[in-house]
Amino acid sequence: MRKPNRPGAAASIRHTSPMADTPTGHRRRAHTRTRDIERYAGLFAERTGVMRSSAMRDLMAITARPEVISLAGGLPDTSTFPPQTFAAQMTRIAQTSAAEALQYGPTEGFEETVDCILQVMGAEGMLPDPEDVIVTTGGQQAIDLVTKTLIDPGDVVVCEAPTYPGAVPVFCSYQAEVVQIECDEDGMRIDLLDETLAGLDSEGRRPKFVYSVPSFQNPAGVSMSIERRTRLVELARRREMLVVEDNPYGLLRFGGEPLPPLYQLDGGDFVIYVGTFSKILSPGIRLGWAVAPPPVMEKIVLGKQASDLCTSTLTQYFVREYFAEGNWRQYVESLCAIYRKRRDTMVEALAEHFPPEATWTDPEGGLFIWATLPDYIDTGDLLARALRDDVAFVPGQAAYVDGRGASSMRLNFSGVDEEEIREGVRRIGNVIREQVDLYATLTGEAVGASPGTPGREAEDVPAVDARSDSSASISDSPGTNPNDPSQGDVLPFRKAQ
Ligand code: PMP
């Protein structure tokens, strides 16, 4: 696909970079030289210095080759959506409302879309005021708009460790200082959060918001227990602190009992909610939403106007048609049945092919498993080796702002079938085995897991200034330094077998 032209962006700059003709006749830059980079560098805003690429986007480009089994993406299985249903709905839209569906719409989104959103939130026990809802271009834009609304450079954002890798570039773009709080199998450690907040208090600082994915977290797959949810909401109320609850996976539950979203427990005073149709219907339609108290919403709407005027009218019409059929919950159930089997397959394959020193989560929903290897293995390096065997995963460092997570990996089980899951895990297992054997040979030691590090004290949780470029991209992994305690994996996740 062609990159959009950016008229005026470089109007006064003539570039003479070497261009190559493609078979389609487009001219494509052959490569970017240092001279080219320097030519633009003086024009860049300061914030671009701390912008970082989403590791998953980078990886998706690498793993586009058809022979690669990618356990790296976060792709829902859209092949299960019936093409006839899609065709019938789009035809109906064309026949009955072509002009409206091709027109701009309101910045807040259509009322009919909000009705669909209320159904989705209602299915998890939430009853927001429709006036508090804005339709966004995916949940990703909702995270961006909330951050744009609340964060000045240097403001503190608190999130989980590990956190959603796609949120990290957003927080960095707005020059936030990101503080990560350890998770265990019950989600974010609220005791550590409490201590961290007290520590920030003593410096006269107060986080603008706490960002959490409490249900089937991306990347760890864990869910926050009801006790911790209740404590987090109490803490937010007591401190008058905002919590941003990002909940793309709450309805993708294949086991255990449903847990109330933070928004439901709080009633919407201090919890800003982010939702999406991506994982229950389609990410291609780019439809998500945010729910926020009216004063915050007012600013979010202004931010959205500036960024894209409105969300796609066409796909909002599609969702309206789709929900009118009344089968959306059955479709979600069918996805859950498929993902449950794939999760089971991945857990079985991990037990078969990963070494005994490895641990991993066993999620009751969502799309991801988080595996942790002995701490002498760097999953950034491991990925480079695994790609030679045509298999990919997300290295754990993508989920941290400070280089931790180097011996963990995120594995996706929704985007490929069971045979590929088994084969993909087998290939990764072989590559790990090579590393384990090499370590044993080099050190002459019998290899064992490094003792699990108990939850860290709050003072140990590093506050990383996103303005200093401490980030590590997957292609530029700094490697594990065994002498640097900040690089160890500290997740006391239970081994799931
Ligand atoms: N939040 C989380 C936790 C996610 O995993 C994702 C997608 N992977 C998003 C937000 C954004 O999704 P979208 O923009 O497609 O709604």
In tens digits, the chain (497 residues) has pLDDT values of 333 333 333 333 333 344 444 455 566 655 667 777 778 878 888 888 777 766 666 677 777 788 999 999 889 999 999 999 999 999 999 999 999 999 999 999 999 999 999 999 999 999 999 999 999 999 999 999 999 999 999 999 999 999 999 999 999 999 999 999 999 999 999 999 999 999 999 999 999 999 999 999 999 999 999 999 999 999 999 999 999 999 999 999 999 999 999 999 999 999 999 999 999 999 999 999 999 999 999 999 999 999 999 999 999 999 999 999 999 999 999 999 999 999 999 999 999 999 999 999 999 999 999 999 999 999 999 999 999 999 999 999 999 998 899 999 999 999 999 999 999 999 999 999 999 999 888 887 765 543 333 332 322 323 333 333 333 222 223 333 333 333 344 444 544 43
User: Closest ligand 1 atom, CA of 142?
Assistant: 14
Tell me how far the alpha carbon of residue 139 lies from the centroid of ligand 1, in angstroms: 5
205 alpha carbon – ligand 1 mean position (Å) = 29
User: How many of the other CB atoms lie within 10 Å of CB of 307?
Assistant: 14
Check residue 50 and give left, alpha or beta (phi > 0: left; psi -120 to 50: alpha): alpha
Regarding beta strands 271-276 and 368-372, do their DSSP bridges make them parallel or antiparallel, or are they unpaired?
unpaired
Burial zone of 389 (CB within 10 Å; 0-12 exposed, 13-18 middle, 19+ buried): middle
Question: Which candidate, 398, 426, 456, places its Cα nearest to that of 55?
Answer: 398
Give, for ligand 1, the residue of 213, 276, 315 to mutate: max count of ligand atoms closer than 8 Å to Cβ.
276
Contact present, 41 and 366 (Cβ < 8 Å): no
Domain 83-324 adopts which CATH fold?
Answer: Aspartate Aminotransferase; domain 2 (3.40.640)
**Contact call for residues 366 and 249 (beta carbons, < 8 A):** yes
**What is the rounded distance in angstroms from the CA atom of residue 280 to the CA atom of residue 335?**
8
Q: Is the dihedral of CA 420, 423, 429, 435 positive or negative?
A: negative
Atom of ligand 1 nearest to the CA of 217: 3
Distance 397 CA to ligand 1 centre (A): 18
Atom of ligand 1 nearest to the CA of 283: 15
| Residue among 303, 279, 300, 305 nearest 290 (CA) | 300
Residue 432 sits at φ, ψ, to 5 deg, of -65, -45
The answer for residues whose C-beta is within 8 angstroms of residue 346's C-beta and 6 or more apart is 369, 411, 413, 421, 425
Q: Is 127 helix (H, G, I), strand (E, B) or coil?
A: coil
* Residue 71 three-state SS: coil
As for ligand 1, residues whose beta carbon falls within 6 Å of it are 74, 138-140, 164, 166, 213, 218, 246, 248, 276, 278, 283, 288
The closest-lying atom of ligand 1 relative to the alpha carbon of residue 288 is: 16
Ligand 1, atom 5, residue with closest C-alpha: 218
Element housing 69 (H / E): strand 69-70
Residue 472: which of 365, 363, 396, 417 has the closest Cα?
396
Q: How many residues does the chain have?
A: 497
Query: Under a CB-based contact definition with an 8 Å cutoff, are residues 267 and 132 in contact?
Result: no
325-329: long-range pairs with CB below 8 Å, 24+: 325/85, 325/89, 328/119, 328/120, 328/280, 328/281, 329/123
Where residue 478 falls (left for φ over 0; alpha for ψ -120 to 50; beta otherwise) is: alpha
d(CA 316, CA 335): 22
Choosing from 164, 244, 289, 394 the residue with most ligand 1 atoms within 8 A of its CB, the one to mutate for a pocket test is 164
Domain boundaries, the chain: 83-324
User: Quick one: which atom of ligand 1 is closest to the CA of 74?
Assistant: 8
Tokens in use for 191?
A: 């005791």
Q: Which helix (H) or strand (E) holds 244?
A: strand 242-246
